[in-house]
Amino acid sequence: MTQNNGRPVYFVDGARTPFLKVRSGPGAFSAADLAVNSGRALLSRHSFSPTDLDEVILGSAMPMPDEANIGRVVALRLGCGHQTPGYTVMRNCASAMQALDSAAKDIQIGRADLVLAGGTEAMSRAPVLFNNDMVGWLGRLNGARSLGQKLAAIAKFRPRFLKPVIGLLKGLTDPVVDLNMGQTCEVIAHRFDVTRQAMDEMAVDSHLRLAAAFDNDRMTEVTPLYDPKRGEAYVEDTGLRRDSNVEKLSTLKPVFDRRVGLVTAANSSQITDGAAWLLMASE
């Protein structure tokens, strides 16, 4: 990777976790856990110390409050030391790509020589939030001082206050045009004449190619995950459908536009937990 006025950038090595399809409830691993797992596996393959890294850059679209500046949190957990900068970038789905771009620019201009850059997400742990009515009611209740004020505040509670705000749905919806990612996909498909058949064929091909890659030991970058609480080990992507075929997919109904839509649960991107890293360096 080169730029006319900068130093060349080299991709040295890479690693990722298996991508775990979200089922029901929070997954076993936080976003930081996932990044640390694959990061340790990657760094263990090299002779240098984690403290030799010039910086750690991690993309994440929805880190949890207890993992604020998750790039720094992960850098410390990887043993990079307090002197190694670690920071987080956010560009929605392109957050990890932004991390790589930031790393490349720092190497090109001579600011860094060895950078660990990647992305992590635990979408299963996206928060479920109180709506504004509930937040306002809790504020009034907390501000009540006398027993009479507290009883008056309690009397104003309404069951609708308990309707949650699904953080994941909010995060996947564009606040400017108010379209979620599935609806946006429908718009793009109709604009560029992408057919349902083409979508289904690409989805099937993706699953079959991934299955073949795992079966032929081509996915050496995948580092296993182990959940001690459940006694489960994950060695490949759990959303992989080895029996996928176009005939099955063609029977599914569209999700986002039930009348004339094309996007189904099978030909759209899965909601997953996972992390991936690239080790980048100057010459």
**Could you read off the pLDDT of 41-89 as tens digits, one per residue?**
999 999 999 999 999 999 999 989 999 999 999 999 999 999 999 999 9
pLDDT at 42: 98
Do 50 and 153 sit in the same domain of this protein? no
pLDDT at 2: 53
Q: Is 71 among the domain residues?
A: yes
pLDDT at 24: 79
Instruction: Identify whether the C-beta of residue 272 lies closer than 8 Å to the C-beta of residue 31.
Output: no
Q: Can you tell me the mean pLDDT for 150-174?
A: 93
Do 160 and 60 sit in the same domain of this protein? no
Do 96 and 72 sit in the same domain of this protein? yes
Q: Is 91 among the domain residues?
A: yes
Do 21 and 79 sit in the same domain of this protein? yes
Q: Is 107 among the domain residues?
A: yes
**Could you read off the pLDDT of 2-30 as tens digits, one per residue?**
556 799 999 999 999 999 999 878 899 99
pLDDT at 218: 94
Do 15 and 115 sit in the same domain of this protein? yes
The answer, yes or no, to whether residue 274 has pLDDT greater than 60, is yes
Global confidence as pTM:
0.90
Q: How many domains does the chain have?
A: 2
CA distance 243 to 44: 36
Query: What percent of the chain lies above the pLDDT cut of 90?
Result: 91
Segments forming the whole domain that contains residue 67: 10-126+274-281
pLDDT at 25: 82
**Could you read off the pLDDT of 31-51 as tens digits, one per residue?**
999 999 999 999 999 999 999
Q: Can you tell me the mean pLDDT for 271-283?
A: 97
**Could you read off the pLDDT of 214-253 as tens digits, one per residue?**
999 999 999 999 999 889 999 999 999 999 999 999 999 9
